[in-house]
Amino acid sequence: MFDIIGKRFWYFLISGAVILIGIISLAIFGLPAGIEFGSGSIVTVKFVADVSQSDLEGELTDLGYGNALVQQTQPAGSFLIRTERLDEAQAAALKDDLNAVFGAFDGEPSSQDVSPMIASETRTNAVIAVAIAALGVLLYVTWAFRRMPRPFHYGTCAIIALVHDALVVLGIFSILGAILHWEINLMFITGILAVIGYSVNNTVVIFDRIRENLTKGISANFETVVNNSLVETLSRSINTSLTTFIVVLALLLFVGANIQNFVIVLIIGIIAGTFSSVCIAPSLLLVWDNKEWGRFLFWRKSNPAKA
Amino acid sequence: MSKGNIVVLALIIVVFGFGLWVLLPLQGERLGRTGLHLGLDLVGGVHLVYEADFKDVDPDDQSAVMERALITIQNRIDKYGVAEPVIQQVGNDRIMVQLPGFTDIDAAKSLVQQTGFLEFREVEFKPDGNPATLADYLGQTDLQFYETGDIDDRVFVGQNDLGKDETYGFLKYEDGAYHFEDAAGNTVAADALSAYGASVAWVKARGDSGTPLTGDLLADAYLTTTQSGQLQIAIEWDDTGTVIFDQIAARLYDPLGTSGAYTLKHVLGIFLDNTLLSAPKVNSSKFEGKGVISGSFTLAEAEELTNLLKSGSLPMPLKQPPLFEEKVSATLGARFVEMSWLAGLIGIILVMVFMLAYYRLPGLVASLALVFYGVIMLTLFKLIPVTLSLAGIGGFIVSIGMAVDANVLIFERLKEELRSGRTLGAAIETGFKRAWSAIWDSNVTTVIVCIILYWLGSSIVASAPVMGFALTLGIGVVVSMFTAVVVTRTLLRFVIHGGMVRHLAWFNVYRGKQ
């Protein structure tokens, strides 16, 4: 049988590295807040002509919108232009100026305008939602595994896996934000929460199998129980991730545009979530049970007495 | 084959048939529902959130005032013929308006935010027979009204460079003292208005009992034209309005009638939101409840004004600019609808191909269950009805991927049971039973997240994408538990007990080769 769990410290290393890079990016670039969190205006335009992003950015700077952020979307010639809050006259003038330089729009532009008051309340509620979701998941997982020894361990490991997924997505988005001018908005938070739900779902299935195998008493050694459970559920874990991945990919390729960032969150989240469910959460459970934190910190060879 | 299984199978077929009947034709009407309900981001439209200005409203009256404001806005929008508008109170002091399919955001804003307060005023005269002006009031150190009986606010109207009437300032009573306000309603010092000293003071036109004549006393308003083709708005007063209007007319009318000169002595000013629309001379002493408002209107302006007068005034102003505004163009939306159906279709086909390739016969059964799932979901969307935003459709598509999760769980179990040597029938029953706790636990967490997401989406500005995603994903998870377990199991039992299965290879299980 495969030895999945034996390589647990490699998993920690991989995740640690990805998260570290993400945290460094977060520290340097931060997360650019979209208008729902930072207030301002967004105009979604599509030019008939094939306008390049750098030309558009240059023109906006000339027009006095040097702070404007431009994100290219699908199909070619489509852009999201994020500016400070514009009043009606300013918005109309901006559209006229852009038409004068780049030609007509293909269809009417869409626009969105958010006041600082709404933005700050949205921030607060997003934080509350994420906190309640995490707490809800912790309580439920703890409750679902209440008949196991140490149910709290299961809940905590599921939460750590969940925080892991959120950190990976946040870190990668911070990098994308710096390179492609992507901003986080309410749909980003929605994506994060969907990923959390999805990842916990996977983790729970694996924990469920550990619970079953423990009850069956297939081995006195916890490490063997965890590893067998992982192997038994591996094809399920991969297949479910694959089917979800397939549909999300279809969503990205065909719908893209306005929910592009959201779909990217889901894709990164599905990969991170599958990894954390299979590799991180059960490994943590085992490390906690074996109390082998020291082994990780000092990178000692495995202790034969424990194995 | 057990009788129970056949009954369940028959039920599933009936439900499936019912779903198809509801859905097809797609745009057709079934059970009072026509077509799928597409959200604002797909059909285009306007989404506005306003904050009410309760400055002049007693805190105890706020909820009642809010209710009246919602009804007024609803009336105004109804007359514009917007299909299925949403007008809702959000929190204590916010009003959210969604107008699907209506993309003229400027027209929408003026429709919603105009206070629409119609009142009638007359010019205030000094004892020497001349009209009181702003300069007269600015020059006073101790406030003395010329019309001593009326201590209410004054509106000062002058003429701008084009010779048109324009409101330049107000004298208002607030918190126990009088103060001047400029045209925008900001409190200013007296000298700030000195440039407009020639503006004339207007006081409220009142009946003998002191009740002012306002738009609240109107019974009806409609658009007409004069003989010369000029647009005017005919108004009809209710019983109280009829009496008061005639009392005022009796006081103001010019005995010389139409042959008399136009003087401010005989003029009744018609004010909408403190702007003088017109100041016709009163040529008759009795109107018996009817009158006209004339002015230099365009057709659109006249229609809008008529609509405002009919729907009544907002009981409080709305703060400018709106807290949140969004306009989605209809052209973008149409493209999204096609693309998202395509994405859904391709997603569902790819998932089926995968399931067939990997699980063979059970994969086929799961694919059938998936078709059933898709039809039931769309039927629910049509019947509830669920407003489908782009993200909502996204949630549905993601749920397709997750819907087969329960099947994957079950089939993996099934393979294990078969490998361990159970018979097909026994393996299926055990497989379903053993997989259930995992299916249940894992879906509960997703539902928890969906409920929280729905709250987050609805809490501030009723964000259609977030609510839509949470709703469709949530419904999807619940429905998929049913389809994956009940439908798949029933179909599998049917296939197996029908004696149609010859080789375990159909389950992608090769016993004994290992």
Last residue of a domain, one of B273, B295, B327: B327
pLDDT, averaged across chain B? 84
Q: Contact, B118 vs B215, CB < 8 A?
A: yes
Using the predicted structure, report yes or no on whether residue B508 has a pLDDT greater than 80. Answer: no
The reply to whether B66 and B32 lie within a common domain is: no
Which residue has tokens 């990205």?
A: A252
| Nearest CA among A15, A2, A3 for reference residue A284 | A15
Contacts of B177 (CB under 8 A, 6+ apart): none
Q: Kindly state the average pLDDT of the residues B442-463.
A: 84
Cα gap B204→B210, rounded to integer Å: 10
Which positions 102-161 of B are in contact with A (Cβ < 8 Å)?
103, 105-106
- Residues B127 and B110 reside in one and the same domain: no
First-to-last C-alpha distance (Å) of chain B: 33
Tell me if B267 is assigned to some domain: yes
Q: CB-based burial of residue B338 (10 Å sphere; 0-12 exposed, 13-18 middle, 19+ buried)?
A: exposed
Instruction: Please choose, from the candidates B151, B155, B158, B149, the residue with its C-alpha nearest in 3D space to the C-alpha of residue B180.
Output: B155
What digits encode the pLDDT tens for the residues B285-322?
888 888 888 777 788 888 888 888 887 788 888 888 88
Q: What is the DSSP string of B1-15?
A: --HHHHHHHHHHHHH
CA B405 – CA B422 distance, rounded (Å): 24
pLDDT for residue B6 is more than 60 = yes
Amino acid at A10: W
Residues B163 and B282 reside in one and the same domain: yes
B171 & B306 share domain: yes
Domains and CATH numbers, chain A: 5-33+117-298 (1.20.1640.10), 40-113 (3.30.70)
Where are the extended beta strands (E) located within B52-110?
86-90, 94-100
Q: How many domains in chain B?
A: 3
What is the full per-residue pLDDT of chain A (307 aa) written as tens digits?
678 888 888 899 999 999 999 999 999 988 888 888 888 888 888 888 888 888 888 888 888 888 888 888 777 788 888 888 888 788 888 888 888 888 888 888 888 888 888 888 888 888 888 888 888 888 888 887 777 778 888 888 888 898 899 999 999 999 988 888 888 888 888 888 888 888 888 888 898 888 889 888 888 888 999 999 999 889 888 988 898 898 898 888 877 666 788 889 999 999 999 999 999 999 998 988 888 776 666 555 544 444 3
Across B136-152, average pLDDT: 82
Residue-range definition of the domain harbouring residue B346: 3-38+329-507
| B126 and B88 inside one domain | no
pLDDT in the model for residue B21: 87
* Contact between residue A148 and residue A222 where contact means Cβ atoms under 8 Å apart: no
Give yes or no for residue B235 having a pLDDT over 70.
yes
3-state secondary structure of A257: helix
Q: With an 8 Å Cβ cutoff, are B332 and A204 in contact? A: no
Q: Does B401 touch chain A (CB under 8 A)?
A: yes
How far apart CA B322 and CA A113 sit, in angstroms, is 9
Q: What is the pLDDT of residue B377?
A: 92
- Residue B106 within a domain: yes
DSSP characters over B251-262: HH--TTGGGS--
Nearest-CB residue to B401 (from A112, A189, A246): A246
Give the CATH number of the domain where residue B103 resides. 3.30.70.3400
Query: Where does the pLDDT of residue B409 fall: very low under 50, low under 70, confident under 90, or very high at 90 and above?
Result: confident
- Burial (0-12, 13-18, 19+ Cβ within 10 Å), A29: middle
Same domain as B378, residue B466? yes
Q: What angle do CA A222, A225, A226 make, to 5 degrees?
A: 85
Q: How far is CA A108 from CA A181, A273, B104, B148, B321, in A?
A: 24, 39, 10, 57, 22
Q: What is the per-residue pLDDT for B510?
A: 66
Kindly report, residue by residue over A105-136, the tens digit of the pLDDT: 888 888 888 888 888 888 888 888 888 888 88
Q: Which residues of A touch B514 (CB under 8 A)?
A: none
Q: What is the pTM of this model?
A: 0.78
E-state strands within chain A: 40-46, 69-73, 78-83, 110-114
Count chain A–chain B contacts defined by CB atoms under 8 A: 223
**Do B164 and B284 share a domain, yes or no?**
yes
Q: Is residue B514 in a domain?
A: no
User: Which chain B residues contact residue A144 at CB under 8 A?
Assistant: 441, 444
What element of type H or E holds A284? helix A281-290
CATH no. for residue B243? 3.30.1360.200
Domain membership of residue B258 (yes or no) is: yes
How crowded is residue B334: how many other Cβ atoms within 10 Å of its Cβ? 15
- Look at residues B82, B122, B86 and name the one whose alpha carbon lies nearest to residue B103: B82
B222: which residues sit within 8 A by CB, 6+ positions away? B233, B234, B306
What pLDDT does residue B503 have?
A: 67
Question: Is B10 part of any domain?
Answer: yes
Q: Is residue B447 a part of any domain in this protein?
A: yes
Q: Are residues B284 and B187 in the same domain?
A: yes
Q: Return the pLDDT at A172.
A: 92
pLDDT confidence of residue B388:
84
Name the minimum distance, in Å, from the CA of B459 to any CA of chain A.
8
Cα separation values, B481 from A46, A114, B219, B353, B436, Å: 42, 39, 57, 21, 10
Residues whose CB is less than 8 angstroms from the CB of residue B169 and which lie 6 or more positions away in sequence, other chains included: B134, B156, B180, B181, B182, B183, B188, B193, B196, B199
Interface touch A243/B457, C-beta < 8 Å: no
- Do B338 and B233 share a domain, yes or no? no
Mean local confidence (pLDDT), B181-210: 86
Considering only alpha carbons, which residue of chain B is nearest residue A243?
B401
How many Å separate Cα B262 from the centre of its chain? 47
Q: Which of B284, B311, B338 is the endpoint of a domain?
A: B311
Same domain? B229 vs B373:
no
Contacting residues of A for B354, CB less than 8 Å apart: 239, 242-243, 246
Q: What is the CATH number of the domain that holds B389?
A: 1.20.1640.10
CB B312 within 8 A of CB B216: yes
Q: Which residue of B has its CA nearest to A205?
A: B438
Q: Are residues B27 and B142 in the same domain?
A: no
pLDDT in tens, B10-24: 999 999 999 888 888
Phi, psi dihedral angles at B359 (to 5 degrees): -110, -5
Do B136 and B266 lie in one domain? The reply is: yes
| Residues of chain A with C-beta less than 8 angstroms from the C-beta of B397 | 247-248, 250-251
> Nearest Cβ partner of B350 from A122, A246, A258?
A246
pLDDT digits (tens, 9 = 90+) for A136-163: 888 888 887 777 778 888 888 888 898 8
Residue with tokens 């009806």: B220
Length of chain B: 514
Q: Is residue B512 included in any domain, yes or no?
A: no
Indicate the residue among B278, B311, B344 that finishes a domain: B311
Mean pLDDT (whole number) for B418-447:
84
ipTM of the complex: 0.83
Q: How far apart, in Å, do the first and last CA atoms of chain A sit?
A: 16
Residues making up chain A, counted from first to last: 307
Q: Is residue B513 part of a domain?
A: no
